[in-house]
Structure 1
Amino acid sequence: MPISFDTSGFRQLDQNTWQHPSGDQAELTYYGVVPDLPAGLDDLPRLRHHLALIHGETGCLIEAHVVQLAGVAALLRIVKMPLPDQPNGQGFVCSFTIPKSNCSAVLQLGAMERGMTGTREAILAAEIGFQNWTKSHPYAPELQGVLPFHAGDDPRHDARFPDHPLARARAWAHHVVRTAQVDPQFASLPPYQVQPPPPVAAGQTLVTALPSLPVKDFVGLQIGEQTTFWRMSDPKLREMLGRGLMGRSPLAETRFRDMLMIDPETGEVMIPDRFTTNGEMTAHGTRLTQVTLHEADAELSDEDVLDAFRWAGQMCGEAAERGEYLSLEPIENQGEQADPHVLLAVQPHEGQPMAIAQFSPTPTEGPLAGSPSRSAPATRESVVGIGLIAGMAVNEWRSHPLRMAITYKRPAG
């Protein structure tokens, strides 16, 4: 792996995971795709602002810095979030990301509150004063996130509360900065750089398009009332689809779909980032080539289709981390929810996260006949599996996967 670190005191669980007696868990991951950071490490103010907005959807970004791991630039961030399926308590994730032009390596530690929670915050709030407790976020003053940015997370308090998970995460981060090593071949790869949005050529007309499931190298686009089909020329669009990174088009109060801008005549595409800095939009450029559904279908195998539904399940898992769930539905379905559709979610049930696929209408044929839903304890495999189950329902509808789209759904309120 690209990063190595001192694992003293940790027990190795598998090739890339280690656990400390405190329960803290370290994980090392390599991603062979273009990093999804919203800005480069050379633009820390913009990077911090975007990250604050992104993490504000599920918790709060406490701090972010560019540090050196054995002479290689890395993004260090510490994030807090509510503990899933529990009324109280927080988890803290400290991560180091080394982004390169076409890949990245991430080393992170998850530290969770256990037992009696909130002691550090209660003591400090009484001392500091509740009127001085909550602060505007230093990286994004306009942010109103899921968790507040407050005075109790200041590192000056860590020495008084060394067993608090935030203090443990920061202590681990300092140790990693001092001791980590980076593979020389990985360190020598070209650095990550955010590409500026492509200029709009004179006379070029860009219109809004809502994408379908990506299937192999193809994607459907709903442009107005017309569904069209396109071949992707590079991986950029597929890397951003479904992950909550792209600009969104609202369908109803709690329903949203990825959107892009395309010139239908030339296939030139702008993929807007979901978040902006001071009102300034950033975007990524790519080009699509229009094809017919018959031409696309001729190049797709059964395994390509299964991969598309596996991807849908994976995106459901990522949506759950943002407090959302998904609806898999015909691409022309817009506005309020309509049949047919499959809701895909990871939700707590009796204290345990469950992966759920809920069908409407109830299937009448095949292995799902008579079942309004299917569920299983949420694991990496079961979350991917509910995407495959959704594909069974789509097969009963006799709908092509390039005519199906993912809609993000937020719980009402």
Structure 2
Amino acid sequence: MAYRKKKPSINLSFLPSSSSLGPPSSSSDATPYTSNLPPSRYEDNNSGGGADTGRSSLSSRDDDDSVSNLPSPLEASASSTTYRSPDLGLSIGSDYVRIHSMPAASGKKKTPNSLESTLQIKSSKPWSTHLKHLKPLGRGQCSTVYKSILLPSPVDSNPPLPPESSRKYYATKSVQSYDNEKTSQILKEIGVLSRLSCPCLVSFEGAYFKDRTLSLVLEYMSCGSLENYIGGSIPLNVIAGISYQILYGLSYLHWYKLTHRDIKPANVLLSSSGQVKIGDFGIASGRGLKDASGDSLNSTVVGTGMYMSGERLRGKKYKSTCDIWSFGITVLEMSFGRHPFHGMGTVEIVMTIDEWDGRVSNLMGRMEEPGLEELVGLCLAKEEKRRLPAELLLESPWLKERVEGVEQASGIVRRYLMTKTLVEDEEEKDMDESMAESLASLAGMSLED
């Protein structure tokens, strides 16, 4: 099927209307992204209803009296227990996050799909006193991500853990506030996630500042990253289910003029329910967001080189379609179990892209289905203006034949994860039995003895 640059006559009704300002609310008529999810699940995960739901309440400054007891920006900056980031419009205390106006780009007006709105979030949970870290999930040079749980009473009182059936886990990313670069990244992540609500983006739960440590609390994705599944045999329908949800999240981000800039399997997270979500927004760029030096982010070279498009590798200006290139590389990895530029340095990758004729089959070989190869080709166009945006890729024939929405996509991935777990458990059982037989043989006896 030939794609044209002009807008096709397809259904794009899932996109937010141009008259809406800020992230979609929890009401069904104002949240176009709920249409493909079970209403009960979406409402539970995204409600702004306060303590009953356990989510942060989101409202405009003028419409919500519940945030009136928050310190003013002046009070917040003078408080020793509060971290202030004027550039990102954030104040973070021990039990709240306050969002002020984001600085508008010079000479530009605010648009409906802009994050330059004035919002406030007040945490409904006592993160700084009741959140217990169970184990580290990963460590960086200056930051750590923990698997955490919120206890019914302060951690200092050493309360017992809730029953297993009622536990809810979180992923908590913590960084020492004296590390300016890492602090800038985590603040940016808070600034992005606290303004967005999409079923295919990792949910923001809260943030707090305590003992000179800045912590971001996110939903916990129990099955880890997509990177854990690369290298195995991922069925085509599962590739479709995962791809659909990644594109869904990207279409939402790009609508808000945000570019993730680090799409790769390690930043795509999976849950046991089959949900696939984009995470790690520490280097995201967009209107009103700046890097630590105050520079604009539409030409900064950050991210993972093996997933960068040609224009980014050369240090040229780029648009949100650079995420589409990274998505295309990710699909290739899922399909072939390896990266097309594995083992190459930056210069070699640039040369390979320059010399490549644009045919996917000449990059890694023929893909299993022509429709999937066509989809990847639309993502890996060397000229960024020829790459299709995420919302149009969602309507591509190969995806539409297999997935009709986020709910169905999640179901496909859930069944795959369940089957994979059962197979791995069976293999582990066989391995244990084989090891027992070997030990018995070494001891000169049979298992029947």
**TM-score (normalised: structure 2):** 0.29
**TM-score (normalised: structure 1):** 0.31
Give 1 or 2: higher helix fraction.
2
Give 1 or 2: higher strand fraction.
1
